[in-house]
C-alpha cells in the first residue's frame, strides 16, 4: 500500500483496476438483461408492478438523489468552506414530517403514473404542461451535469486522456446506462441502485480508512485548529453569506421538500410501493441513508484535506489546495490507493453517476410518453407498443443529455455553484405548482401558471444576474417564496375578478 512518501503523481491505473471496472460494467448490463425477461406490462416497467420492496425503494431513492455531483461536491465543499454545509441534516426531522405526513399521503391517494396528472386533475392542462417542461429541463440539465462532472472532472483527474475523448467516454457511459435501464425498467433501476449504493459508499469509506492508516490515527484527519480559509462559524440566516448553520438547514429543507413533493423520480418510487405506510417507510430509509452518506462524505473531505496538507507536493502544479478542492478526491484515487482499490473507487464514481442517470432516463421517458406522446398522438385507436416506445425514448433522452453536457462546463464557480445555478434552477418553481394544487383550495389555472413563471424568472435572475445580491444557497428559498406568494395573489385576484374562470 502506498504511503505519503511513496505516493507518485505518475502512478496510473493498473490491469487489476481496469478488470474491476470491466466486471462492474458487465454486472450492470446483466441485471438489466435479467429483469428484461420479467417485465410484461408498462406498469411493470415503469412502477415495478407497484409491489417494490420499501427498503429497496428507499435505498434507490437515496442513490438516485446522491449522484456523482454529491459524491464530489460535498468533499470539495468541506475542503473549501468547512463542515457547515453538512449541518443541514439537522433539518431532516422537519423534512420527514412535511414529506411523510403532508406530501406522501396526498400523492399516494391519486393512484397516477405520472406525477403531473395530479396537476391536470386540479388545475388543467396548461399547468401540467408547464410542470412537465420544468421537470424535463431540470432532469436533462441534471443528467448533463452528472456526465460533465463524472467524465470531465472526476475521470480526467484519475485517468489522463486527451480532452478530445471526453465526449466519447461520456457517450460510452450513457449508452451502458441506457441499455440496462431500457432493458430492465424500474426493477432493474432499483436493484442496480442498491448495488451501486454499496459500491460508491464503500469506496468512499475505504478511502477514509486508508488515509487514517497512512496518517497513523483517526484523529489525524481532523484539523488541529480551525483553518483560516473556512471563515468564522455563523449560526443564523444570512442571504449574503455562503455558509451559515441556518442557510445550510434551509437549503436542504427546501430541496428535499420540493424534490420529494414534485419530482417524478421521487413520486415514481412512492407510487411503486403498495400504500402510504410503505411509501413513508421508503422515504425514512432514504433519509437514514443520506445521513450516513453525508457523514462519510464529510470524513472524505477531511481526509483529503489532511492528506494533501501533509504532502502538498502531490498537488497538481500551479494551483493551491483550495483551487483544486473539487478534484482532490479523484486525484487521491489515482495516487493514494493500491491496485484494485483504485478501480473499485472509480467504479464507485461511475456507480454514483449511473444510478442517477438510470433513474433520470426512466422517469424522463415515462413523462414524455404519458404527458406528450400518449396525449397528443393523432390516431388514438391504433394499438402500439408503449413499452418499446419508452425504451426508444431512453436513447433519445441520452443523446440530448450528451449534447447539454458539453455546455455545462461554461458555468463559472465550484461544483456547488454549478449545481445550484444549473441543476437546481427549476426545483422550487416546479414545487410551486404542486403546492398550489395540493394545498390552496382557491388556486386557479392562470394564477398558478404565472406564479410558476415568476418563480422561474426569479431563480434565473438570482443565479445569473445576482439580483438581490444573495448567495447561490438562497436561489431555491427565494424563488419558492416569491413563486408561492405570486401564485396565491394571482389566483385570489383571478377568483375575485374572473370567477367564471375558476377551475
Cell numbers at 252, concatenated = 436542504
245 assigned to some structural domain: yes
431 assigned to some structural domain: no
Full residue range of the structural domain in which residue 96 is found:
15-375+383-411
Which DSSP string corresponds to 290-343? HHHHHHHHHHHHHHHHHHHHHTGGGSPTTS-TGGGGGGHHHHHHHHHS-TTHHH
Residue-level pLDDT at 5? 39
483 touches 454 (CB < 8 A): yes
Residue-level pLDDT at 99? 92
426 assigned to some structural domain: no
181 assigned to some structural domain: yes
1 assigned to some structural domain: no
Residue-level pLDDT at 40? 54
Residue-level pLDDT at 447? 94
CATH number of the domain that residue 170 is part of: 1.20.1730.10
Q: How much is the CA Rg of the chain, to the nearest whole Å?
A: 23
Residue-level pLDDT at 502? 45
Q: Report d(CA 190, CA 184) in Å as an integer.
A: 10
Which DSSP string corresponds to 435-462? HHHHH-TT--HHHHHHHHHHHHHHHHHH
Averages of pLDDT over runs of 10 residues in the chain (503 residues) are: 44 74 76 64 51 61 68 85 88 93 84 76 90 88 83 72 72 72 61 72 86 89 86 82 86 92 77 80 85 91 91 79 83 80 76 70 75 69 58 77 78 75 89 92 93 95 85 91 96 79 47
174 assigned to some structural domain: yes
Which DSSP string corresponds to 361-393? HHHHHHHHIIIIIHHH-S-SSS---HHHHHHHH
Q: How many domains does the chain have?
A: 1
CB-count burial class (<10 Å; 0-12, 13-18, 19+) for 348: buried
Cell numbers at 16, concatenated = 487489476
Residue-level pLDDT at 6? 45
83 assigned to some structural domain: yes
Residue-level pLDDT at 418? 80
462 assigned to some structural domain: no
Amino acid at each position: 500500500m502506498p504511503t505519503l512518501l511513496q505516493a507518485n503523481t505518475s502512478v496510473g491505473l493498473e490491469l487489476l483496476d481496469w478488470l474491476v471496472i470491466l466486471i462492474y460494467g458487465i454486472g450492470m448490463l446483466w441485471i438489466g438483461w435479467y429483469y428484461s425477461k420479467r417485465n410484461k406490462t408498462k406498469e411493470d416497467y415503469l412502477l415495478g408492478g407497484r409491489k417494490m420492496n420499501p427498503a429497496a425503494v428507499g435505498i434507490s431513492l437515496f442513490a438516485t438523489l446522491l449522484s456523482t455531483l454529491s459524491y464530489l461536491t460535498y468533499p470539495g465543499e468541506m475542503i473549501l468552506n468547512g463542515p457547515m454545509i453538512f449541518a443541514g441534516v439537522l433539518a431532516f426531522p422537519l423534512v420527514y414530517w412535511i414529506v411523510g405526513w403532508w406530501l406522501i399521503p396526498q400523492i399516494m391517494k391519486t393512484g397516477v403514473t405520472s406525477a403531473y396528472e395530479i396537476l391536470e386533475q386540479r388545475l388543467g392542462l396548461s399547468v401540467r404542461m408547464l410542470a412537465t417542461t420544468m421537470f424535463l429541463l431540470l432532469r436533462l440539465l441534471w443528467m448533463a451535469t452528472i456526465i460533465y462532472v463524472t467524465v470531465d472532472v472526476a475521470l480526467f483527474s484519475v485517468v489522463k486522456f486527451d480532452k478530445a475523448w471526453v465526449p466519447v467516454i461520456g457517450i460510452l457511459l450513457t449508452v451502458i446506462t441506457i441499455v440496462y435501464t431500457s432493458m430492465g425498467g424500474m426493477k432493474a433501476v432499483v436493484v442496480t441502485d442498491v448495488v451501486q449504493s454499496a459500491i460508491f459508499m464503500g469506496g468512499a469509506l475505504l478511502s477514509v480508512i486508508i488515509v487514517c492508516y497512512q496518517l497513523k490515527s483517526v484523529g489525524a484527519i481532523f484539523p488541529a485548529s480551525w483553518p483560516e480559509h473556512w471563515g468564522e462559524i455563523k449560526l443564523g440566516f444570512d442571504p449574503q453569506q455562503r455558509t451559515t448553520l441556518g442557510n445550510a438547514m434551509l437549503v436542504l429543507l427546501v430541496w428535499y421538500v420540493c424534490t420529494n413533493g414534485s419530482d417524478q423520480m421521487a413520486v415514481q418510487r412512492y407510487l411503486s410501493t403498495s400504500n402510504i405506510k410503505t411509501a413513508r417507510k421508503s422515504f425514512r430509509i432514504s433519509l437514514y441513508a443520506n445521513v450516513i452518506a453525508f457523514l462519510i462524505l464529510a470524513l472524505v473531505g477531511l481526509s483529503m484535506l489532511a492528506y494533501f496538507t501533509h504532502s502538498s507536493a502531490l498537488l497538481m502544479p500551479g494551483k493551491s489546495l483550495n483551487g483544486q478542492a473539487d478534484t482532490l478526491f479523484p486525484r487521491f484515487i489515482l495516487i493514494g490507493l493500491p491496485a484494485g482499490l483504485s478501480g473499485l473507487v472509480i467504479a464507485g464514481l461511475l456507480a454514483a453517476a449511473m444510478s442517477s442517470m438510470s433513474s433520470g432516463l426512466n422517469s424522463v421517458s415515462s413523462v414524455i410518453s404519458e404527458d406528450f406522446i400518449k396525449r397528443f398522438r393523432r390516431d388514438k385507436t391504433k394499438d402500439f407498443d408503449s413499452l418499446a416506445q419508452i425504451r426508444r425514448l431512453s436513447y433519445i433522452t441520452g443523446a440530448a443529455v450528451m449534447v447539454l453536457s458539453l455546455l455545462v462546463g461554461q458555468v463559472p464557480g465550484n461544483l456547488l455553484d454549478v449545481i445550484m445555478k444549473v441543476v437546481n434552477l427549476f426545483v422550487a418553481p416546479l414545487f410551486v405548482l404542486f403546492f398550489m394544487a395540493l394545498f390552496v383550495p382557491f388556486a386557479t389555472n392562470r394564477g398558478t401558471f404565472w406564479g410558476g413563471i415568476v418563480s422561474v424568472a426569479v431563480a434565473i435572475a438570482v443565479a445569473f444576474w445576482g439580483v438581490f445580491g444573495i448567495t447561490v444557497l438562497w436561489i431555491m428559498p427565494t424563488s419558492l417564496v416569491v413563486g408561492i406568494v405570486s401564485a396565491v395573489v394571482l389566483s385570489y385576484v383571478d377568483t375575485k375578478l374572473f370567477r367564471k374562470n375558476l377551475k
